[in-house]
Amino acid sequence: MFVAITRSPGPELSRCELTHLDRQPIDFDRALAQHRAYQDTLRAAGADLIELPADPAHPDGVFVEDTAVVLDEVAIVTRPKPLSRRGELGAIEGAILPFRTVRRLPADAWLEGGDVLRMNRTLYVGQSSRTGEAGLQALIDIVNPFGYTVIPVRVTGCLHLKSACCALDTESVLVNRAWVDAEAMANVRQVELPATEPWGANVLRLPGVVVVSASFPRTLDLVRGLGHTAIALDVSELHKAESGLTCMSLLFNAVARSGGIIMPPGTVEETSR
């Protein structure tokens, strides 16, 4: 059994942060229906779903992946760069605490979970507009004692590392080499995306199946051609909010852990904004 933390989108989704896309009208009812189908896909794969309610104060709250990195030994509550997202962290922390000891990043250490790709005991960390040097170093300080290797990867042209690179299995990744420094990931097998679908790399690997956005049919054919069981899921309305498949859930093994919150020196509690 594994846990999937999700948060429902609200009508405020149309006010989400956008970096690489132009703002388009979002049909909220359709976005909500697509998100429910996404949750159903997680359940079908065996997930124990934790559903957090929509929060009108946080338009980007549905994108829970950015708010934490959950490893087997510890969970790191991250530090999203946009101030509009800082108030999302309390609810996420509360949902994780029954399962993991939680570490928090220092106030000046920007890092978002969409920039962290785990491949076995290696964490590839995107150096994007949302994750900086201080966030990278803070993550290294937390995870190195547990035996993880952290490798920075330069990201250009997209929001996060996982916008351009996601795991297909434990040994290979689907990648848009135009947007990432592929040489930094030389230790993993890289499968190049179809050139006509540059946003198709954000696939969601679940037990027994790889989920691909229905917006990218050539990517779906590619994944199936590699021998993976793959399904298409329509999240086209959520794509307008710069969403991918991975960013709408936090996935981890359902192992209860003792412990609590460990705050870095000098950390000051931040109220919702």
Please report which confidence band the pLDDT of residue 267 belongs to, taking 50, 70 and 90 as the band edges: very low
Mean pLDDT of 121-137: 96
Please report which confidence band the pLDDT of residue 17 belongs to, taking 50, 70 and 90 as the band edges: confident
Specify the residue for token string 């829970």: 64
Q: Give tens-digit pLDDT for 180-219.
A: 999 999 999 999 999 999 999 999 999 999 999 999 999 9
Report the C-alpha gap between 65 and 249 in whole angstroms.
6
Claim: this prediction has a pTM higher than 0.75: yes
CA 11 vs. chain centroid, Å, equals 22
Active-site residue, from 16, 158, 166, 247:
247
Assess whether 166 carries a catalytic annotation. Answer: no
Domains within the chain, CATH numbers bracketed? 2-262 (3.75.10.10)
Please report which confidence band the pLDDT of residue 157 belongs to, taking 50, 70 and 90 as the band edges: confident
Active-site residue, from 35, 58, 160, 228:
160
Mean pLDDT of the chain: 91
Helix, strand, coil share of the chain (percent; to 5): 30, 25, 45
What single letter denotes the amino acid at residue 267?
T
| Range 178-181, long-range pairs (CB < 8 A, 24+ positions) | 179/155, 180/126, 180/153, 180/154, 180/155, 180/156, 181/153, 181/154, 181/155
